[in-house]
A and B are shown apart, each in its own frame.
Chain A
């Protein structure tokens, strides 16, 4: 793999960039792999990467129905934070956040992790209490967050209206080391690093069946033929239910549409990520200058990657109230993704009833920020059979009534 650096770019410039190699190979599938990961989104690729890097398992194929990073990895609002309330969530998201900090260097691919800070506004007494609770929990969980005053909010985000007549800003939970990253680059960087380890990333290859013998997975059927494996990781977000059905079990998941939008680009006016949960809106400004805005989810099952417009409307009116200056900006583009929701809105990273088959899904609206941690834990689970990071996210928690509910601190899982 050719090393990326400013010197390499300069060297290539002299020959008009004709010497760059492919970022990842595009091989035909082999007959058998130690591990097959289905789904070349961020989570799937990260799982493969850490299987190779941490456990030396490099005979791995990542199979993708469409193009890598083309699902929710490339459709989200790129927020990275770990200020979650419950222990298991805080653990996995903080692991992810800390891995993000070094990911550009680790992958030799600039994923543009930008620790610009994430702020969650408290606009009711209830939210104040919820976020103060989170701040206390975070301190014990090793997550750096703090409760800040409205004045400090205004200092960090001059364009915010803290005296809104409807919902004045009463304070905020501030995670200085949260931020954003370039979402596509995360998938591309992992893919390039996986490919460099000799793993096969097979795009345009749809899994049509899961083969098993005596209750144990032995391979998959695909549109590019049958491929054998010892272990199978299913990491396909909105399509988890379909894959599970092929493997002969069911998952407590539902697929719904989540929307987002961006404004036209303007010069930098907001350097942090702001989430306002009372009014249901969140916003950051990308390096291109677009205001990136997260919208809501529909209440019904939907596989269209389109959502209903009134959610956009609700989000925008909330943000116009919170940031009055955006009223005269214009919405450039809106889009939707399919997210998979569990009963407690927390993910599932688990063994399954089919031996050797593992599932990673149910990230709902909050998957991007978890990618490195999720891959790290999933790789550990697949390689060793156990991971403290993923233990609480097992499938059996629903039967036991052992939920991981993040909504309790009003910390909606964006």
Chain B
């Protein structure tokens, strides 16, 4: 059984007991425990089920690389699936549940897969479930989906109770990893005066060196770490963050740090996670190394664990995973586990060493009375939910002549692989180190930064060296190198001297025993979570999936939540062997961020709820909201679609507004329309290029409707342009067009005609603009008093500055409705007051505010086009009968050349017409008109489409505008629009002006 030891446990505080639950059972642990160590202390070795075969799974590691011990953590709106027990700090009240089983962890129906595993090799689904066709969708896939998937989905109706945030940090040197290498590199860099940031994923500094032993400058490692940490803490140029993982390294020195602020104390004030966006001139990766499992049959049985993890549990948390342990290794390091276990009073039955000879550590073990079996291998681990016994054989051979030994845990070590993720994310390359049988960073091919030079330096074990002394020397040099590359002068200092027992050479062992037969290989796991075995990789190679990427994808090797931290190198080696190639030739799969999974919440940061995206508001926004506004998003703006009164539907409201504006008086908040000031001696010339019409000839005091095309000829905006003085124009744009058109103008001014003397300023938000529309428009303005708004004083398509009532304003006599209409601009800070004044004064004239839908209907009744309705990015002015707005006098304007291309001049282009249904009904939005027959691809031939379609309350019938092939030549013809509702709408082609054809109403 696994149990708490009486002694040891450098990270736990035995005076502080913590209560938590696992699958509903209440358990005890100590402050400082991880969930994994606490579960082990409670003899809960089995912590989950595997992905494919639902095999029992125990914890195998003690850190971020853990593939098995994944739990659902927390409850309700703080539930989180797939959290690693090994990186979850224990706290009082923690609740956890194991995953991927039904009905429960101990007894799982899905485990039938393990008995069928022989029939479910890698890629079996590509070869099966092909017939009968409907079965994939209805039978096979639902079954596969249900049995896959690991953790439970968070409840669909729960909104995350926590908040998240981002922070932008800037540093000269960023050190990722707070083990002895990271600490030392940070110090070496900081001594140069460089600004240094040091981040560590766990809550503790020092990494695993304090567990592994040895001395640094003749002090115990713990002591050294303590001193170094306090030294760094006093340096003003060093920032240290624990519980902050380096998640990804991106181009130009951009690094993501994932800080888990409250995961160990949920419910505390403040954000749960903070995503650091760090810009570093240089990055030092001091991310350590990860121990590799050994591939032998039954290496997935709960109780089989990495040797280093086992000693972590003993030293850090005072927990032993077993009482009778066998150690299997191909290197000296695992002897440390044997020794530590033995010293802690655990029965270490044997060290099975695949090598013929070991080093001084083996001798030390022997002296403690541990039996060492050189040249041996594990043939098979037996046991279901827990290790029961181990069959031992010779490493050379196929696994015969076995000896069986009863035990309850196995510690395995296949050597160490540097954590090269951060080095690789942004293109750093690797080299194969034969002596240590691992890939390590190739210093000649680092990731390149903005200046074309390397910006990442690997340090310590993540760079290859594994012995304490070498690690410190390497890290010290890395810190100095990074500081130098960041432009600082490193101090001429020496690395501290680390001393550990000398280790003998390791020996690459990719399979135990070396020539294991197929039955053993089918039980030798590479990827514990995804159930990929040695035989699967060999099958992939045999079937031609030879590239490492093919093998990965065919077998799912390394695609689990640990992203192959334990399995990749072992899998590669098996593949290389199967292909009779070499490991470096086979290469690795691509390392992609993040290093371990990071929460979506953290990625989104603060952008949720009311600050998900900006909502732009006009000065009268609150009034609209209080007066029944049915809101419509237009870009980031909110505009009122209609003002709905109690008891009304939105549709009723629209009809009421439409009629009232034509009969009495309507007010529209037009503040969102863009307003650009264009000024300078060349402003007229410039606007002549921007607009299709002539703007330079516009008289001061007058307005002109203008069209804008892109260089590619398509309509992009329209609006009324007013000439303010000799060299100043004010250009109105569509809502949401202000920034776009401002940018468009600046682009041409800055990058093409930079010698033209023109300045542009966006003054959109300086003004609140109100359209005062309807037969009573003039009356209400006259009642408020001030400037003369009479027919002669302010004629149609002119503007004047003056006062309306108390308000300084600019009044434009323009109309988008065909009614008598003024648009009055007042300073935004007085917008609400002005609106109130109009509403008050307008009472006797039947004033009502109206929204965008009413605006649309009024303009459609008049046949005015709307950018975004009649245009969609494929429409040119000629399609809309706007030839009059295309200046023939001008040699050039944006779009003019484009209109000459053959397809744009094609007489078969669809042209704007009015459409009137035969029965008065409303043609559905987006309907197409059909012609005869089908095209070469069997599609119905289409001859036109509706662009705007409304019920006109004024006319009491449906009206529409549309683009129709040869439309203007076909007045009076009836064409058919099949609706998706099954009906066919017959409509007559008519003039698009439905109301007040002579325009008398706006000219009164």
- Please tell me if the beta carbons of A108 and B160 are within 8 angstroms of each other in the complex: no
Cβ-closest chain B residue relative to A131: B926
- Please tell me if the beta carbons of A267 and B160 are within 8 angstroms of each other in the complex: no
Most buried by A among B522, B593, B609, B902: B593
- Please tell me if the beta carbons of A110 and B148 are within 8 angstroms of each other in the complex: no
Given known A136-B928, A264-B82, A306-B426, contact A400–B901 (CB-CB < 8 A): yes
In the complex, which residues of chain A have a beta carbon less than 8 angstroms from the beta carbon of B940?
A: 140-141
Distance of A132 Cα from B609 Cα, bound (Å): 29
- Please tell me if the beta carbons of A102 and B133 are within 8 angstroms of each other in the complex: yes
Distance of A141 Cα from B594 Cα, bound (Å): 43
- Please tell me if the beta carbons of A321 and B256 are within 8 angstroms of each other in the complex: no
Q: Mark A167-193, 1 if CB is under 8 A from B, else 0.
A: 100000000000000101100110000
Given known A23-B545, A126-B868, contact A313–B605 (CB-CB < 8 A): yes
Does B833 reach chain A (CB closer than 8 Å)? no
In the complex, which residues of chain B have a beta carbon less than 8 angstroms from the beta carbon of A112?
A: 125, 136, 141
- Please tell me if the beta carbons of B130 and A326 are within 8 angstroms of each other in the complex: no
Does B955 reach chain A (CB closer than 8 Å)? no
- Please tell me if the beta carbons of B604 and A313 are within 8 angstroms of each other in the complex: yes
- Please tell me if the beta carbons of A267 and B150 are within 8 angstroms of each other in the complex: yes
In the complex, which residues of chain A have a beta carbon less than 8 angstroms from the beta carbon of B554?
A: 184, 188
Distance of A109 Cα from B547 Cα, bound (Å): 20
- Please tell me if the beta carbons of A330 and B599 are within 8 angstroms of each other in the complex: yes
For window 256-312 of A, CB contacts with B under 8 Å fall at 263-269, 279, 285, 287-289, 304, 306, 308-309, 312
In the complex, which residues of chain A have a beta carbon less than 8 angstroms from the beta carbon of B542?
A: 18, 20, 22
- Please tell me if the beta carbons of B598 and A328 are within 8 angstroms of each other in the complex: no
Distance of A25 Cα from B543 Cα, bound (Å): 9
Cβ-closest chain B residue relative to A391: B936
One of B28-36, B362-370, B610-618 at the interface: B610-618
State which of A267, A389, A408 has its C-beta within 8 Å of the C-beta of B874.
Answer: A408
Given known A269-B153, A328-B600, A408-B874, contact A288–B901 (CB-CB < 8 A): no
Cβ-closest chain B residue relative to A320: B604
Nearest CB of chain A from residue B823's CB, rounded to whole Å: 23
One of A6-14, A221-229, A242-250 at the interface: A6-14
In the complex, which residues of chain B have a beta carbon less than 8 angstroms from the beta carbon of A334?
A: 248, 592-594
Prevailing SS type, chain B contact patch: loop
User: Count the A residues whose beta carbon is within 8 Å of the partner chain — how many?
Assistant: 120
- Please tell me if the beta carbons of B600 and A266 are within 8 angstroms of each other in the complex: no
Does B837 reach chain A (CB closer than 8 Å)? no
For window 372-414 of A, CB contacts with B under 8 Å fall at 388-389, 391, 397, 399-403, 405, 407-409
One of B116-124, B206-214, B911-919 at the interface: B116-124
- Please tell me if the beta carbons of A401 and B904 are within 8 angstroms of each other in the complex: yes
Does B146 reach chain A (CB closer than 8 Å)? yes
In the complex, which residues of chain A have a beta carbon less than 8 angstroms from the beta carbon of B518?
A: 16, 18
In the complex, which residues of chain B have a beta carbon less than 8 angstroms from the beta carbon of A110?
A: 125-130, 136
In the complex, which residues of chain A have a beta carbon less than 8 angstroms from the beta carbon of B426?
A: 306
Cβ-closest chain B residue relative to A20: B543
Does B641 reach chain A (CB closer than 8 Å)? yes
Does B403 reach chain A (CB closer than 8 Å)? no
- Please tell me if the beta carbons of A137 and B543 are within 8 angstroms of each other in the complex: no
Distance of A266 Cα from B152 Cα, bound (Å): 6
Given known A5-B128, A165-B609, A330-B598, contact A140–B119 (CB-CB < 8 A): no
Nearest CB of chain B from residue A275's CB, rounded to whole Å: 18
- Please tell me if the beta carbons of B121 and A87 are within 8 angstroms of each other in the complex: no
State which of B79, B124, B593 has its C-beta within 8 Å of the C-beta of A9.
Answer: B124
- Please tell me if the beta carbons of A17 and B603 are within 8 angstroms of each other in the complex: no
- Please tell me if the beta carbons of A23 and B141 are within 8 angstroms of each other in the complex: no
Does A54 reach chain B (CB closer than 8 Å)? no
Does A115 reach chain B (CB closer than 8 Å)? yes
Distance of A25 Cα from B546 Cα, bound (Å): 11
Nearest CB of chain A from residue B65's CB, rounded to whole Å: 14
Does A196 reach chain B (CB closer than 8 Å)? no
- Please tell me if the beta carbons of B149 and A308 are within 8 angstroms of each other in the complex: no
Does B805 reach chain A (CB closer than 8 Å)? no
Does A159 reach chain B (CB closer than 8 Å)? yes
- Please tell me if the beta carbons of A87 and B127 are within 8 angstroms of each other in the complex: no
Distance of A124 Cα from B31 Cα, bound (Å): 51
- Please tell me if the beta carbons of A4 and B126 are within 8 angstroms of each other in the complex: yes
Distance of A203 Cα from B549 Cα, bound (Å): 13
- Please tell me if the beta carbons of B926 and A129 are within 8 angstroms of each other in the complex: yes
Cβ-closest chain B residue relative to A263: B600
Does B494 reach chain A (CB closer than 8 Å)? no
Cβ-closest chain B residue relative to A127: B633
- Please tell me if the beta carbons of A136 and B979 are within 8 angstroms of each other in the complex: yes
State which of A129, A164, A266 has its C-beta within 8 Å of the C-beta of B150.
Answer: A266
Distance of A313 Cα from B606 Cα, bound (Å): 11
Given known A9-B128, A124-B632, A267-B151, contact A327–B927 (CB-CB < 8 A): no
Nearest CB of chain B from residue A300's CB, rounded to whole Å: 11
In the complex, which residues of chain A have a beta carbon less than 8 angstroms from the beta carbon of B979?
A: 136
In the complex, which residues of chain B have a beta carbon less than 8 angstroms from the beta carbon of A10?
A: 119
In the complex, which residues of chain B have a beta carbon less than 8 angstroms from the beta carbon of A333?
A: 563, 592-594
- Please tell me if the beta carbons of A401 and B901 are within 8 angstroms of each other in the complex: yes
Q: Mark B449-482, 1 if CB is under 8 A from A, else 0.
A: 0000000000000000000000000000000000
Nearest CB of chain B from residue A364's CB, rounded to whole Å: 16
Nearest CB of chain B from residue A391's CB, rounded to whole Å: 8
State which of B118, B545, B607 has its C-beta within 8 Å of the C-beta of A13.
Answer: B118
For window 843-877 of B, CB contacts with A under 8 Å fall at 868-869, 872-874
Does A166 reach chain B (CB closer than 8 Å)? yes
Given known A110-B125, A264-B82, A266-B153, contact A321–B612 (CB-CB < 8 A): yes
Nearest CB of chain A from residue B255's CB, rounded to whole Å: 10
Distance of A263 Cα from B544 Cα, bound (Å): 30
Distance of A24 Cα from B545 Cα, bound (Å): 9
In the complex, which residues of chain A have a beta carbon less than 8 angstroms from the beta carbon of B590?
A: 335
Cβ-closest chain B residue relative to A145: B980
In the complex, which residues of chain B have a beta carbon less than 8 angstroms from the beta carbon of A21?
A: 543
Nearest CB of chain B from residue A278's CB, rounded to whole Å: 8
Does B999 reach chain A (CB closer than 8 Å)? no
- Please tell me if the beta carbons of A91 and B81 are within 8 angstroms of each other in the complex: no
- Please tell me if the beta carbons of A265 and B136 are within 8 angstroms of each other in the complex: no
Q: Mark B921-936, 1 if CB is under 8 A from A, else 0.
A: 0001111101000011
- Please tell me if the beta carbons of A23 and B553 are within 8 angstroms of each other in the complex: no
Does B783 reach chain A (CB closer than 8 Å)? no
- Please tell me if the beta carbons of B150 and A331 are within 8 angstroms of each other in the complex: no
In the complex, which residues of chain B have a beta carbon less than 8 angstroms from the beta carbon of A279?
A: 613
Q: Mark A98-118, 1 if CB is under 8 A from B, else 0.
A: 000110110011111111100
Does A216 reach chain B (CB closer than 8 Å)? no
- Please tell me if the beta carbons of B553 and A288 are within 8 angstroms of each other in the complex: no
- Please tell me if the beta carbons of A137 and B250 are within 8 angstroms of each other in the complex: no
Does B20 reach chain A (CB closer than 8 Å)? no
In the complex, which residues of chain A have a beta carbon less than 8 angstroms from the beta carbon of B133?
A: 101-102, 104-105
Q: A129-B925, A137-B928, A140-B930 known; 10 other A-B pairs, CB under 8 Å?
A: A104-B136, A123-B633, A136-B924, A266-B82, A268-B145, A287-B144, A325-B155, A328-B600, A388-B935, A389-B937
Interface positions of A (Cβ within 8 A of B): 4-6, 8-10, 13, 16-18, 20-26, 66-67, 69-70, 74, 87-88, 90-91, 95, 101-102, 104-105, 108-116, 123-126, 128-137, 139-142, 146-147, 158-159, 164-167, 182, 184-185, 188-189, 203, 263-269, 279, 285, 287-289, 304, 306, 308-309, 312-313, 316-317, 319-321, 324-335, 388-389, 391, 397, 399-403, 405, 407-409
- State the 7 A-B residue pairs at the shortest beta-carbon distance, nearest first: A133-B926, A289-B149, A330-B597, A388-B936, A401-B901, A317-B604, A67-B547
A-B contact pairs, 8 of them (CB 8 A): A18-B518, A132-B926, A159-B153, A166-B613, A264-B81, A289-B150, A320-B608, A388-B935
Interface positions of B (Cβ within 8 A of A): 51, 78-82, 118-119, 121, 124-131, 133, 136-137, 141, 144-146, 148-160, 248, 250-251, 254, 256, 277, 426-427, 518-519, 522, 535, 539, 542-547, 549-550, 553-554, 556, 559, 561, 563, 590, 592-594, 597-601, 603-605, 607-610, 612-613, 615, 632-634, 641, 712-713, 868-869, 872-874, 898, 901-904, 924-928, 930, 935-940, 942, 945, 978-980
